[in-house]
Amino acid sequence: MTAVSVRVPAKVNLQLGVGPIRDDGYHDLVNVFHAVSLFDEVTAGDAPSLEVSVQAAPYSRVDVGGVPVDGGNLAAKAAGLVAARLGVEPRVAIRIRKAIPVAGGMAGGSADAAAALVACARLWDDRDNPALTRDDLVELGAELGSDVPFAVLGGTAVGVGRGERLTPALTRGTFHWVFATADGGLSTPAVYAECDRIRAAQGEAAAQPVVSEALMTALATGDAKGLGAALANDLQAAALSLRPSLGRVLDAGLDLGAAGALVSGSGPTCAFLAETEEDAGELAEALDGTGVARQILRAQGPVPGAAVV
Ligand code: ATP
């Protein structure tokens, strides 16, 4: 085989509970991940040495300017890990076609890393007697970042610890989403730092986060209205503090009848849940008309994780 292409979804955090800062600098998280049908495509092909190229996917308006095209790209790091594990040289050209907003709070870099793990394993491993199982790739993913294991698995899952210890969640049916992207990204570490700053200024000790029962019930029963009401992101106040204009985006979606709205992960992408597919279409069109966002995107979830195409 000389080239393998893998399609990998973006995620939205349905619940992002952020606990107190730990001694190692990380926070304990409760993270309900949900994979949505907004995909990057990563192709790994034989090459004389490690090469990386990044382009916006056809019809996508993603700004790929800030994405590294050297060993700093998370997909290149993933290729290096797979090569080391299999005892081969990482002689691979990695081509990334991005539709997931960069630094948008939808884990695009982690998604590309997950896709590269799957693509390189298929490229180099013995297909009849593979040394690497999907569980091994999930474990390798955790070495690259706490969002990577979920991008390998997809679906809907609850992550605890730094977010990387995953349990699949029971869901019913399909949920219909509208995403509003923004010009320029937000740095995830900066948003966590702002969250810590706000809590310290308020003299507020963060509680240990727990999974929302209302959210799990809504997922299990396919109740979009219930899910909309239960969406929660402890990083939202920090993202709004760093980017106050996001408040107008969230308000616009709620005024237009969204069943729920929240900042996705560390932002600045805003996510809106609609009750039906038809509602999602109307909401997307109306939001687009307000001009509050760089781009309005529609997606459905849950969808499977990184998969060879
Ligand atoms: P998260 O939701 O996991 O916090 P994000 O969606 O906010 O992440 P990413 O798109 O993953 O942010 O990008 C964060 C930074 O990671 C980028 O600014 C870029 O410098 C770096 N990066 C490394 N590899 C990639 C990649 N393959 N795609 C995008 N960004 C990458």
Instruction: Mark whether 225 is an active-site residue.
Output: no
Residue 42: beta bridge partners? 6, 96
pLDDT at 206: 85
Q: Which CATH number fits the domain 3-169, given the four candidates 1.10.150.120, 3.40.50.970, 3.30.70.1050, 3.30.230.10?
A: 3.30.230.10
CA distances, 291 to each of 34, 230, 253 (Å): 27, 27, 12
CA–centroid distance, 226 to ligand 1, in Å, is 31
Is residue 156 classed exposed, middle or buried when 0-12, 13-18 and 19+ CB atoms within 10 A define those classes? Answer: buried
- Nearest-CA residue for atom 3 of ligand 1: 107
pLDDT at 91: 96
Atom of ligand 1 nearest to the CA of 113: 27
The binding-site residues of ligand 1, defined as CB within 6 angstroms of any ligand atom, are 66-68, 73-75, 96, 102-110, 112, 147, 185, 188, 265-266
Atom of ligand 1 nearest to the CA of 11: 2
**Which tokens hold the place of 211?**
């999974």
Instruction: Mark whether 11 is an active-site residue.
Output: yes
pLDDT, tens digit only, all 309 positions of the chain: 589 999 999 999 999 999 988 888 888 899 999 999 999 999 999 999 999 999 999 989 999 998 999 999 999 999 999 999 999 999 999 999 999 999 999 999 999 999 999 999 999 998 888 999 999 999 999 999 999 999 999 999 999 877 668 999 999 999 999 999 999 899 999 999 999 999 999 987 788 999 999 999 999 999 999 999 999 999 999 999 999 999 999 999 999 999 999 999 999 999 999 999 999 999 999 999 999 999 999 999 999 999 999
135: Cβ contacts below 8 Å, ≥ 6 apart? none
CA separation for the pair 76, 113 (Å, rounded)? 8
CA–centroid distance, 9 to ligand 1, in Å, is 14
Atom of ligand 1 nearest to the CA of 267: 7
CA–centroid distance, 109 to ligand 1, in Å, is 4
Domain ranges of the chain: 3-169, 175-301
| Alpha-carbon Rg for the chain in angstroms | 19
Please state the pTM of the whole predicted model. 0.95
Q: Which residues of 243-282 are buried (b: 16+ CB within 10 A; e: fewer)?
A: beebeebbebbeebebbbbbbbbbbbbbbbbbbeeebbee
CA separation for the pair 227, 220 (Å, rounded)? 10
Q: Which residues of 42-55 are buried (b: 16+ CB within 10 A; e: fewer)?
A: bbbbeeeebebebe
- Nearest-CA residue for atom 17 of ligand 1: 103
Q: What is the largest CA-CA distance in the chain?
A: 58
Q: Ligand 1 test: best mutation among 67, 152, 297, most atoms within 8 Å of CB?
A: 67
pLDDT at 6: 98
Q: Which listed residue (112, 125, 147, 279) is catalytic?
A: 147
CA–centroid distance, 181 to ligand 1, in Å, is 15
User: Which CATH class name applies to 175-301?
Assistant: alpha beta
Residue 7: beta bridge partners? 41, 307
pLDDT at 1: 59
pLDDT at 92: 98
CA–centroid distance, 126 to ligand 1, in Å, is 31
